[in-house]
Amino acid sequence: YLKISKLALAFAIIHSKPPGKSCKEYTEHLAKTVSKQDFGWKSKVEALEAEVLRLRQELLLNKICPRIRLENDASAETVLDQECIDPMSYSSQLEDSGCDVSNDYAFDSSGIASDFHESEHNVNTSKRWLERVPPLNLCCTGKEESLTVPVQFLQHLLEIRKLSERGILQADFTELENDSFTICNSVSQLLDGLTIFYNSPKFPVSNFLSEAVCVLISLITDSKLSNHVLKKCFKKLEEFKKNLIQIILRNSTVNRFQALHAVSHTLVLLARNNILRNSLISLLLSEVRQFAEQLLQAHQIQAMYDITRYENIFLLCMILEQLLQNEAEDSNVSSSDYDGEEKIKFLKNLDQIILHLSDEFPLFSLYLWRASVLLNSSQI
């Protein structure tokens, strides 16, 4: 049937082609015309899908918070005023200084906690909450436009959650179970938008993108919302972490250090959620182990190795060490929670790898040894 259809189309093109044009030229002209029509329809469909998602988000918010319970108007207004924190306070902006990196992105757990403390509960509430959920006034341009809808929805969700804890709003978050599509789509759009930015970052980082990261981290660390998000979006979050790791390993630009530290900072922030931290440790153990084995093989046969990957692997080693230290310090989380198989693979023959690489690659061997010490000490 397909062959007959193609043959019929070919005859139709031959019979209808205008004089002075070859069949090839006329076919290309028809293809361009059809593709333009397809592009127009695609843009219309995308716009309609975006509008449907926005309406579903608004409907879900209204289901979660159908009415408002106020203990008294005066006290509610006071609390709302206190909750109005500047959403643009997240971190200082990086400057494109070449190789120098801002201290905000240092791998220090206390530093990360203090930098993020001011912004993790950002809200943008007003007295209009007493009537309906207000639209956020966040300015964005270019690629950031795709982030506007999911950031607004998720930020409103966080605001309702916080206000419900204070007793200002009465909310039913079991509705998230009944409408998994909306929460999944919103989180997916947010993660896709952040991935696009990290693939081709521009500095200084805009306030809107900083706010998007804040919303993501607040969402996965919220005691009640994180369970819903992880249940519905765990695979997407895993894909996001893998993408960030590959962005770190592949980047070969000269002034890449600030961009890579920004990605590393986001990975460390994602690890504030224990479940994501455990899976991230497994991913990092796998990447570092595979690179160590490839480097050893190249060294033994005196072959060329990927210098860019070698330079970038140290960031993954630093993140891994940071997370293993956090794991050891966190008495509430067992070190056996993350994938034991990856841990066994990493430690297997590691002493031999370090022994053979220590003369030629002393720094990398040192990082491998430090990671093995942390793994063994946590086991003990």
CA distance 13 to 176: 53
230's CB contacts (< 8 A; 6+ apart) are 220, 237, 273, 275, 276
pLDDT band of 131, cuts 50, 70, 90: very low
CA dihedral 265, 268, 269, 272 (to 10 degrees): -170
Q: Looking at the chain, how many residues does it have?
A: 380
Tokens of 170: 């009465």
pLDDT in tens, 362-375: 999 999 999 999 98
Average pLDDT of 203-212?
84
pLDDT band of 20, cuts 50, 70, 90: confident
Across 94-103, 127-136, 156-165, 266-275, least confident range: 127-136
Please, where are the H alpha helices in the chain? 2-16, 23-64, 73-83, 109-117, 145-165, 175-178, 180-199, 207-221, 225-250, 257-270, 274-300, 307-329, 340-347, 350-357, 362-379
Write down the mean pLDDT value for the chain.
78
Q: Is the pLDDT of residue 111 over 70?
A: no
The radius of gyration computed from the CA coordinates of the chain, to the nearest angstrom, equals 26
Residue 251: phi and psi, rounded to 5, are -65, 125
Q: What was the pLDDT predicted at 371? A: 94
Q: What was the pLDDT predicted at 331? A: 54
The residue whose two tokens read 């300015």 is: 139
Across 12-21, 197-206, 243-252, 296-305, least confident range: 197-206
User: What does the domain layout of the chain look like in residue ranges?
Assistant: 273-379
Three-class SS state of 279: helix
pLDDT in tens, 152-183: 999 999 999 888 888 888 888 888 888 888 99
Residue 358: phi and psi, rounded to 5, are -65, -35
pLDDT band of 7, cuts 50, 70, 90: very high
CA distance 257 to 260: 5
Q: What was the pLDDT predicted at 117? A: 45
CA distance 194 to 187: 11
Across 102-111, 155-164, 186-195, 346-355, least confident range: 102-111
Average pLDDT of 211-225?
91
281's CB contacts (< 8 A; 6+ apart) are 320, 323, 324, 327, 338, 339, 342
Q: What was the pLDDT predicted at 129? A: 35
Tokens of 347: 């430690």
Q: Is the pLDDT of residue 289 over 50?
A: yes
Q: What was the pLDDT predicted at 378? A: 62
Chain centroid offset of residue 304 CA = 33
